[in-house]
Amino acid sequence: MTGPRPTAVVMAKRPVPGRVKTRLVKSGHLTADEAASLAAAMLECTVRRLATRMEVVIALADHADATLPAWGQRRTIDQGGGDLGARLDRVWRSLDPTPVVAFFGADSPDVPDAMLDAIPLALAAAPIAIGPAGDGGYWTLAARGYHPEVLRRIDWGGPAVYDQTRQRARDADLAVCRLPSWSDVDDAADLRALRRRLAGLASPAPPLVDLAGRLPAERGTRPAGEGRSMTDMRGARLVDEPASIELPDLSDTSILIVDDNAQNLELMHAYLEELPCRIVTATDGIEAVSAIEKDPPDLVLLDVMMPRMSGFEVCQKIKASPRTRDVIVIMVTALHEVGDFERAVESGTDDFLTKPVNKLELTTRVKSLLRVALLKRKLDQVMALKQRVAPDDRSDQDLAQKLEGRADEGER
């Protein structure tokens, strides 16, 4: 790895039955003991993997009970009380002056090696690097120096933690490097997805092998009609729904794959054929820009090194146009130099995939980002309709204020 090497801080609870992975217990998918065993396995995997790259500090929410196995015999810090922002700030301040730090939880134990290795590269390009999670949070928050402003006025109980954190950084004139997104493990569907990802790894490292062997057995499906509680990752109850949750329909979405290598183009097209999306292709940057101008897709998989017009230039054109700036761009690259990474961020890319592309990682990332795009599209439509019907409705103003800074009320 090149770039500043951060200290990894793992924010965690001691894996005690009844205190961890409570969503899986409340939904009936795991017993309290099974949930504690799962939490311990995920924490151990996370610490062992990070320890091969960085110095690891474990910040415990229950520091008084800080008895951990041999793998956890590292420097520990008491998180203290308060919301997540207050606890992160307390831990951050306890580190060395102007630290280079990367905060992690234990809910994303299988983040790919390439993404972990990208953190120092990201911090060479910007003072803040954030890896978003699919539910609106993040799997890492990394920084050069102490920047508490990125922790303020965040609705830690809401689904916009990543977006709000990025906005706080912008408000403080701090450049942000967006790392690739990844999934966390919080409910039964997440656990099944983790099981599939681990089974699909060609040559998993020992910590991942051990994690796969310690995952609890999958239980049978619930009786028809039996409901379960949908909760976001921070425990705020939303609504009771049946066990089968309908996800946004992707059949109304489109993907543009851009690559000058016919074999790469054919391979990614084949990987994505299982999705109900419309897929089109382009063989160079100029052809891609023309296709996007005629019919903007929802997502572009964009090769970087191409003749006539590079992926950097294509991305800049997409993000510069008001008509296409909301198109999601995933750069697919084998580049690893700090300058290349920085240039990709400056061009406006939304995410990265490294070559050779893994099918499961590709399809998971694409589905997650397309669903976010669909939900945003529907929200925009609803808000536009409400504005036409009642442009001066006070409830709309209240809603906007809550969306922009609901955490302000908690700080006053």
Q: What is the pLDDT of residues 87-137, one digit of tens each?
A: 999 999 998 766 899 999 999 999 988 888 888 888 888 899 999 987 789
The answer to whether 38 and 52 have CB atoms below 8 angstroms apart is no
User: Taking the CA atoms of the chain, what radius of gyration do you get in angstroms?
Assistant: 22
Identify the pLDDT of residue 164. 93
H/E stretch holding 54:
none
Backbone angles phi, psi at 325, to 5 degrees: -65, -20
CB contact set of 217 (below 8 Å; sequence gap of 6+): none
Identify the pLDDT of residue 241. 31
80-93 confidence digits (pLDDT tens): 889 999 999 999 99
Q: If pLDDT is split at 50, 70 and 90, which confidence band does 154 have?
A: very high
Q: What is the DSSP string of 295-332?
A: S--SEEEEESS-SSS-HHHHHHHHHHSTTTTTSEEEEE
Identify the pLDDT of residue 118. 83
Backbone angles phi, psi at 353, to 5 degrees: -130, 140
CA nearest neighbour of 272 among 281, 261, 283, 282? 281
Backbone angles phi, psi at 56, to 5 degrees: -115, 130
Give the position of tokens 């203290």. Answer: 80
Residue 391 has pLDDT above 60, yes or no: no
What is the percentage of the chain residues whose pLDDT exceeds 90?
41
CA dist., res. 134 & res. 194, Å (int): 14
Residue 342 has pLDDT above 80, yes or no: no
306 or 356, greater pLDDT = 306
Chain-centroid distance of CA 152 in Å reads 20
Highest mean pLDDT: which range of 229-243, 307-321, 369-383: 307-321
406 or 331, greater pLDDT = 331
- For 215, the 3-state DSSP assignment is coil
CB contact set of 195 (below 8 Å; sequence gap of 6+): 212, 215, 218
Identify the pLDDT of residue 390. 52
Q: What are the tokens at 406?
A: 């609901």
189-236 confidence digits (pLDDT tens): 889 999 989 988 877 889 999 999 999 886 644 433 333 333 332 332
Angle in degrees, CA 195, 157, 34, rounded to 5: 35
Identify the pLDDT of residue 67. 58
CA nearest neighbour of 139 among 110, 169, 168? 110
Give the position of tokens 């992975």. Answer: 21
Angle in degrees, CA 273, 276, 279, rounded to 5: 55
Fill in the DSSP letter of residue 261: -
Q: What is the DSSP string of 338-394?
A: HHHHHHHHHHT--EEEESSPPHHHHHHHHHHHHHHHHHHHHHHHHHHHHHHH-TT-H
Angle in degrees, CA 405, 410, 412, rounded to 5: 100
Q: What is the mean pLDDT of residues 26-36?
A: 90
What's the mean pLDDT when you consider all of the chain? 80
CA-based end-to-end distance of the chain: 43
Give bridge partners of residue 140 from the DSSP assignment. Answer: 104, 131
50-60 confidence digits (pLDDT tens): 999 899 999 98
Fill in the DSSP letter of residue 27: T
CA nearest neighbour of 106 among 53, 161, 61? 61
Identify the pLDDT of residue 64. 53
Residue 146 has pLDDT above 70, yes or no: yes
The answer to whether 127 and 144 have CB atoms below 8 angstroms apart is yes
The answer to whether 351 and 134 have CB atoms below 8 angstroms apart is no
8 or 27, greater pLDDT = 8
Omega of the bond leading into 356 within 30 degrees of 0 (cis)? yes
H/E stretch holding 52:
none
User: Can you list the domains of the chain with their CATH numbers?
Assistant: 7-178 (3.90.550.10), 250-368 (3.40.50.2300)
Q: What is the mean pLDDT of residues 327-331?
A: 91
Least confident of 219-223, 312-316, 328-332: 219-223
